[in-house]
Amino acid sequence: MSKMRSIFYGWWIVIAVGIIHFWGAGTAFYSFTAFLETGIAAPIVGFLTDKYGPRRLVLAGSFLAGVGFILLSRLDSLWSLIANWFEKKRSTALGLGIASIGGSGVIILLMNWLIEQYGWRNALVVAGLGMWIICIPAALVLRHHPEDYGYAPDGGKIEKAKAVKTQGETSVKAQHTGFKTMEAVKTRGFWLIAAGSTASATGVNAVGVHVMPSLLSIDIPRGTAGFLAALVVMSSIAGRLGFGWLGDRFPKKYLFGMALFLQAVSLLVLAYSHNLWQATLFAALFGPGYGGVTALRFSIQAEYFGRRSFGSIQGLLSGIHTIGTIIGPVLAGWLFDIKGNYFLAWLVLGLSTLAVVPLLVLARDSQKGQMHSGD
How many CA atoms within 13 Å lie on the side-chain side of 130?
19
Tell me where in the chain the CATH 1.20.1250.20 domain(s) lie. Answer: 178-362
**Angle (nearest 5°) at CA 349 between 348 and 355:** 90
pLDDT of residue 349: 95
Which amino acid does the sequence have at 168?
G
Give the whole-angstrom CA distance, residue 342 versus residue 269.
Answer: 12
Q: What is the mean pLDDT of the chain?
A: 76
Give strand pairing partners of 345.
none
Q: Is residue 202 classed exposed, middle or buried when 0-12, 13-18 and 19+ CB atoms within 10 A define those classes?
A: buried
Pair 263, 205: CB distance under 8 Å = no
Q: What is the pLDDT of residues 89-133, one digit of tens each?
A: 888 888 887 777 767 667 766 776 777 777 767 777 787 788 888
Higher pLDDT, 222 or 58: 222
- CB burial of 360-373 (b: ≥16 within 10 Å; e: otherwise) equals bbebeeebeeebee
Cβ(274)–Cβ(214) under 8 Å?
no
C-beta of residue 132 within 8 angstroms of C-beta of residue 53: no
Distance of alpha carbon 126 from alpha carbon 212, whole angstroms: 29
Angle (CA) 110-115-119 rounded to 5° is 145
Question: What's the CA gap between 336 and 339, in Å, rounded?
Answer: 5
Measured from the Cβ of residue 43, the count of other Cβ atoms closer than 10 Å reads 9
Contact 263, 286 (CB under 8 A): yes
**For 54-68, what is each residue's pLDDT tens digit?**
566 556 655 554 555
The residue ranges of DSSP E strands in the chain, in sequence order, are: none
pLDDT exceeds 60 at position 372:
no
What pLDDT is attached to residue 64?
55
**Most confident of the ranges 22-31, 183-192, 269-278, 307-316:** 269-278
Taking CA atoms, 136 is separated from 19, 24, 60, in Å, by: 10, 11, 27
Please state, as a whole number, how many other Cβ atoms lie within 10 Å of the Cβ of residue 219: 10
For residue 116, the one-letter residue type is E
The model scores a pTM over 0.75: no
Residue 184 CA: distances (Å) to CA of 194, 251, 304, 316, 360: 12, 20, 9, 10, 17
pLDDT at 20 over 80: yes
Distance CA 173, CA 43 (A): 55
pLDDT digits (tens, 9 = 90+) for 227-270: 887 788 788 888 888 898 898 888 888 999 999 999 999 999 99
Fold annotation for 178-362: Growth Hormone; Chain: A; (1.20.1250)
